[in-house]
């Protein structure tokens, strides 16, 4: 059986020393496809030491050279993204088109990071005092740890490592144990692009590896995406050791539908945002907040569209793939049981799937609940599966109040043709990312990604200008030169190197 091992100092290492392994499964078939080495404490120390040793030379590498390597990585990824998409589908289960879309959104951050010379420019003040000049610079932190989730094995790491590497940091990526191969594939691509050994490291493992990264004095920053309880744990433990931390937690994303909305557009958006990637997205819409006067019609339209969805293996042209593991499928099915027991109206029941797939995959059909109350577990908990809940409200004000009362504040959307209502919504809603007739408002790479309340621990969002600031720290230099000097004559055209 194929073994997925760590990538340390520019090469895949022998995993035998760790002695612990996990199984990697194709969720569409239920078959074990490889085994994954789980790092022990000694391997984690070696990975951190390699990244730490590579930092001084990479920090002092010119911006011109760093950007050349980033451009190389971009070109290689564009040429071979089909390979990466196939890896993602085989280990996560999402559709091939969805995997390609994930890669494209991650590639946006790579392209944004290619502009790092402009983003790292400081300011300069001449003659702040008599013959005294002042200028500012931004410098890298050191070793950046990235702990990424299973649902986006390429995109989420790419939210962080392009900015970290372009800024002069070295990176240790700890991917999910459930779909680890994409991380190694990207490590090999970085090497092919010319990245020096030790600048990009992949450390596989479980809590042993995570805690080693959180506790090590040689790790300067931690970027994490996952559930809220683990995000809070990562933030508190890493912050206690003086690290800079951005920990993106869970979500319960709402979509408010007003009576003047285009209900066909809203229904399409609800299905796309609720059931895409089997609901395993932190920006998935899981709660539809419908104004009562249009709720019946909207639910009927959503149900009509959902009944036509075809589930199965993501390589077969289906509409929705499997969930990531059998345990997670059973957990989501348990929420369907609970919603039915709590009295919600079960419009579509996904517990008896008939997938187009070989073997025993981890499938559920899309599930739709109506008349959901805010005290039901299908509403209060992040289910992370293809379960869509409809809550009914008398009007706009009650809808906003319901959303703002949620402990989560990751993403939200409003569907309306009333510009005044939309403007009020974006001003009054207490959520970090807002869509106006856009169900999944993931910001472009030149903005920044992150929520409010229990959806984010730490002060800095991912990528964009906030990402640059997260992976660097400022320095202000005050200068006085008493004696002029000059550098001699050279008539050649000036060049960067």
Catalytic annotation, residues: 282
- What is the DSSP code (8-state) at residue 485? -
User: Could you give the CA distance from residue 211 to residue 435 in angstroms, rounded to a whole number?
Assistant: 36
| Burial (Cβ within 10 Å: 0-12, 13-18, ≥19) of residue 375 | exposed
Tell me which residue has tokens 């609940």. Answer: 369
Structure tokens at 376: 């039901």
SS3 category, 347:
strand
Report the DSSP beta bridge partners of residue 480: 132
CA 123 – CA 137 distance, rounded (Å):
7
Which stretches does DSSP call E strand in 63-216? 124-129, 132-140, 143-147, 170-174, 200-202
**Comparing C-alpha atoms, which of 224, 216, 223 is closest to residue 240?**
216
H or E segment to which residue 209 belongs: helix 207-215
Rounded Cα distance between 342 and 351, Å, is: 17
Residues 6 or more apart whose CB falls under 8 angstroms from that of 138 comprise 120, 122, 167, 468, 469, 472, 473, 474, 475
Report the DSSP pairing between strands 221-225 and 200-202. unpaired
Q: Is 254 within 8 Å of 435 (Cβ atoms)?
A: no
Distance (Å, whole) CA 425 – CA 438 = 13
> What single string gives the DSSP state of each residue in 251-305?
--EEEEE-TTS-HHHHHHHHHHHHHGGGG--TT-EEEEEEEHHHHHHHHHHHHHH
Tell which residue, 215, 143, 156, has the closest CA to residue 471: 143
DSSP sequence for 407-446 = SEESEEEEE-S-HHHHHHHHHH---SEEEES-SS-PPPTT
- The b-or-e profile of 154-174 (16+ CB within 10 A means b, else e) is bbbbbbbbbbbbbbbbbbbbb
The answer to whether residues 279 and 384 touch, using CB atoms and an 8 Å cutoff, is yes
Q: How far apart are CA 368 and CA 274, in angstroms?
A: 10
Phi first, then psi, for residue 25 (nearest 5°) are: -120, 145
């Amino acid at each position: 059986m194929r073994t997925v091992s760590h990538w340390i100092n520019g090469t895949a290492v022998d995993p035998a020393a760790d002695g612990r392994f996990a199984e990697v499964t194709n969720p569409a078939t239920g078959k074990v496809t490889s085994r994954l080495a789980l790092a022990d404490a000694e391997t984690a120390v070696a990975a951190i030491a390699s990244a730490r040793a590579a930092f001084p030379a990479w920090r002092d590498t010119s911006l011109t050279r760093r950007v050349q390597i980033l451009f190389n990585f971009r070109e290689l990824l564009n040429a071979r993204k089909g390979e990466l998409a196939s890896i993602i589908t085989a280990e996560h289960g999402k559709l091939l088109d969805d995997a390609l879309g994930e890669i494209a959104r991650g590639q946006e951050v790579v392209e944004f990071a290619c502009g790092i010379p402009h983003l790292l420019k400081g300011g300069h003040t001449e003659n702040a005092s008599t013959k005294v000049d002042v200028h500012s610079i931004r410098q890298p932190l050191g070793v950046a740890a990235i702990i990424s989730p299973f649902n986006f094995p390429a995109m989420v790491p790419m939210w962080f490592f392009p900015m970290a590497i372009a800024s002069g940091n070295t990176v240790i990526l700890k991917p999910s144990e459930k779909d680890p191969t994409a991380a190694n594939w990207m490590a090999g691509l970085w090497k092919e692009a010319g990245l020096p050994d030790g600048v990009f490291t992949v450390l596989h493992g479980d809590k042993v590896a995570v805690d080693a990264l959180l506790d090590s004095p040689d790790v300067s920053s931690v970027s994490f995406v996952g559930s809220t309880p683990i995000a809070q744990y990562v933030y508190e433990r890493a912050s206690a050791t003086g690290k800079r931390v951005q920990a993106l937690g869970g979500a319960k994303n709402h979509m408010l539908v007003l009576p003047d909305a285009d209900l066909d557009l809203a229904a399409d958006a609800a299905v796309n945002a609720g059931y895409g990637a089997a609901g395993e997205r932190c920006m998935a819409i899981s709660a539809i907040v419908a104004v009562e006067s249009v709720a019946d019609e909207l639910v009927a339209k959503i149900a009509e569209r959902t009944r036509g969805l075809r589930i199965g293996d993501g390589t077969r042209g289906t509409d929705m793939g499997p969930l990531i593991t059998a345990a997670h499928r059973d957990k989501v099915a348990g929420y369907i049981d609970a919603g039915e027991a709590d009295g919600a109206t079960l419009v579509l029941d996904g517990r008896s799937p008939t997938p187009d797939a070989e073997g025993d995959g981890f499938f559920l059909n899309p599930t739709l609940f109506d008349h959901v109350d805010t005290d039901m577990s299908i509403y209060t908990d992040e289910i992370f599966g293809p379960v869509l809940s409809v809550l009914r409200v008398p009007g706009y004000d009650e809808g906003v109040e319901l959303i703002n009362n949620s402990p989560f504040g990751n993403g939200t959307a409003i569907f309306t043709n009333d510009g005044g209502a939309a403007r009020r919504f974006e001003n009054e809603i207490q959520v970090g990312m807002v869509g106006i007739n856009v169900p999944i408002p993931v910001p472009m790479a030149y903005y920044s990604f992150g929520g409010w309340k229990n959806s984010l621990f730490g002060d800095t969002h991912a990528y964009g200008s906030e990402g640059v600031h997260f992976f660097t720290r400022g320095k202000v230099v005050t200068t006085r030169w008493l004696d002029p000097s000059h550098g001699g004559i050279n008539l050649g055209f000036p060049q960067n190197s």
